[in-house]
Amino acid sequence: MTVDYSVLPHHKILCIDMKSFYASCSAVMEGLDPLECHLAVVGDKSRQGSIVLAASPRMKKDFGIKTGSRMFEIPNDPRIRLVEPKMATYVRISTELTRLFHRYVPKDAIHTYSVDESFIKIDGATSLWGDATTIARKIKDDMEREFQLPCAIGIGPNMLLSKLCLDLEAKKKGGCRVDI
């Protein structure tokens, strides 16, 4: 059986994924650069077996510490900052990010998938704000300017493909991911 994909609806969907959201929010609250600092959010700093809930990109790259690692796996290094989660603050920031999306599209065009990932249907917004890449760039720039938070944005004709573009491009540059 073959499927004629040309007859299926073709939209412009942005998949916006915050980079290491809990760690990035915590870094900003600590006055640190979320992409350059070594920070881990751990469930309970008083317990060595506590789980890492989030790690900054540099923490992942330089020390191999990621979500699910244990606190005892984190090396004793003066560059590393350990913080406990501030869940209510993360949810509040997520809500503010959704308000930012409302500047570009109506409420019914936003699908909040999780605290750090949303899908935005921008079909009707392109005549106001520009093509999909331009809108993605504007949203990313607004986030960085107003919240100092990094994100990656995938663009596709539906939610699945916009997410796949984002995920596949995280492993290999070029193609369909917009990481601007």
Active site residues: 117
- Beta strand pairing status for 38-42 and 177-178? unpaired
3-state secondary structure of 156: strand
CA–CA distance, 75 with 83 (Å, rounded to integer): 15
Scanning the structure block, which residue is given the tokens 């913080």?
83
> What is the DSSP annotation of 80-103?
EEEE---HHHHHHHHHHHHHHHHT
- Beta strand pairing status for 38-42 and 80-83? parallel
CA nearest neighbour of 15 among 92, 117, 144: 117
* SS3 of the chain: helix, strand, coil, percent, to 5: 45, 20, 35
